[in-house]
């Protein structure tokens, strides 16, 4: 797939704010600061489409990016940053629950983890959630520019195992900085979307 068109359509806090059409969704989840918004910018070749920050907790809303007028990339708020109140955490849980309540349009969740670190308890919880809801998943290991090739290979095996996913679940390492792995990721995304011909 080649991304030719990308636009932020809407930001939502609840289902009433989601796009009301039937286009498929591909949603990104992961720890705060792992690089979800950066991945959207890298995939779409637009440096400022999604807001990126060195400070965790930048994305607090559910942002819907319409891609090629064909599907939505959904940027979900990150989890697991220390300095948030309990109310904030509950708000996050509520937003995620509501989003995952209706998965009819959700074709894939991209679960992003930082290639340099083992998955956290919250990553494992998210993996369980994805399995519970039986959502097709693509694992993406970010910041591959920070690790040598040999260690990337080893870490990919570890990540899959610690998250409890089978060999059937694809995992791609990538870097939003060097752009390594992005082509692979786009090719993988194609496999989750309905064929254009049959739409
Ligand atoms: N070296 C490197 N840095 C990256 C990469 N991807 C993201 N970053 C950096 O990581 C930081 C966080 O990136 P974001 O894209 O804002 O992370 P996020 O997951 O959207 O964070 P929240 O919105 O808080 O959930 C920024 O400083 C990015 O520049 C990558 O592939 N390599
Ligand atoms: Mg973000």
Report the atom number in ligand 1 closest to the C-alpha of 40.
Answer: 15
Q: What is the CATH number of the domain that holds 56?
A: 3.40.50.300
Which carries the bigger pLDDT value, residue 53 or residue 169? Answer: 169
User: C-alpha 105: how far from its chain's center?
Assistant: 15
pTM of the full predicted structure?
0.94
Q: What is the DSSP string of 133-151?
A: TT--EEEEEE-GGGS-HHH
125: CA distance to ligand 2 center in Å?
20
Write the residue with the smallest CA distance to atom 24 of ligand 1.
Answer: 57
56: CA distance to ligand 2 center in Å?
8
Residue 198 lies in a domain: no
Tell me, what's the pLDDT at 161? Answer: 97
Provide residues with CB under 6 Å of ligand 1: 30, 32-38, 52-54, 56-59, 77-78, 142-143, 145-146, 175-177
**b/e per residue, 84-123, with b = 16+ CB within 10 A?**
beeeeeeebeebbebbbeeeebbbbbbbbbbbeeebeeeb
80: CA distance to ligand 2 center in Å?
13
Residue 1 lies in a domain: no
Residue 138 lies in a domain: yes
Tell me, what's the pLDDT at 169? Answer: 96
Alpha-carbon dihedral of residues 10, 12, 15, 19, nearest 10 degrees? 0
Which carries the bigger pLDDT value, residue 195 or residue 163? Answer: 163
Scan for tokens 């956290």, then name that residue.
120
Residue 91 lies in a domain: yes
Residues whose beta carbons lie less than 5 angstroms from ion ligand 2? 36-37, 58-59
Write the residue with the smallest CA distance to atom 27 of ligand 1.
Answer: 54
From CA 130, how far away is CA 50, in angstroms rounded? Answer: 24
Ligand approaching nearest to the C-alpha of 114: 1
Residue 164 lies in a domain: yes
32, 33, 78, 85, 86 from 82: Cα distances, Å: 10, 12, 12, 9, 10
* Number of domains within the chain: 1
Tell me, what's the pLDDT at 28? Answer: 95
Residue 199 lies in a domain: no
- pLDDT one-digit tens code per residue, 86-127: 887 888 888 888 998 888 999 999 999 999 999 999 999 999
Residue 197 lies in a domain: no
Write the residue with the smallest CA distance to atom 14 of ligand 1.
Answer: 35
Tell me, what's the pLDDT at 116? Answer: 97
Write the residue with the smallest CA distance to atom 12 of ligand 1.
Answer: 33
Tell me, what's the pLDDT at 102? Answer: 86
Close Cβ partners of 20 (under 8 Å, ≥ 6 residues apart): none
Residue 176: pLDDT over 90: yes
Tell me, what's the pLDDT at 121? Answer: 93
Residue 81 lies in a domain: yes
Query: How does residue 83 score in pLDDT terms, banded at 50, 70 and 90?
Result: low
Query: How does residue 60 score in pLDDT terms, banded at 50, 70 and 90?
Result: confident
The boundaries of the domain holding residue 67 are 6-192
């Amino acid at each position: 797939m080649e991304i030719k068109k990308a636009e932020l359509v809407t930001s939502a806090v609840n289902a009433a704010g989601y796009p009301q059409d039937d286009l498929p969704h591909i949603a990104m989840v992961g720890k705060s600061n792992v690089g979800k918004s950066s991945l959207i910018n890298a995939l779409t070749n637009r440096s400022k489409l999604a807001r990126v920050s060195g400070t965790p907790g930048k994305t607090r809303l559910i942002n819907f990016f319409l891609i090629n007028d064909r599907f939505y990339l959904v940027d979900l708020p990150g989890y697991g940053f220390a300095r948030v109140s309990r109310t904030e955490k509950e708000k996050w849980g509520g937003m995620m629950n509501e989003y995952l309540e209706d998965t009819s349009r959700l074709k894939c969740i991209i679960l992003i983890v930082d290639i340099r670190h083992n998955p956290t308890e919250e990553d494992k919880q998210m993996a369980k959630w994805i399995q519970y809801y039986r959502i097709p998943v693509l694992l993406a290991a970010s910041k591959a520019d920070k690790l040598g090739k040999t260690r990337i290979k080893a870490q990919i095996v570890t990540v899959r195992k610690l998250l409890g996913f089978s060999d059937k679940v694809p995992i791609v390492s990538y870097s939003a900085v060097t752009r390594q792995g992005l082509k692979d990721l786009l090719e993988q995304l194609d496999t989750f979307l309905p064929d254009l011909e049959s739409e």
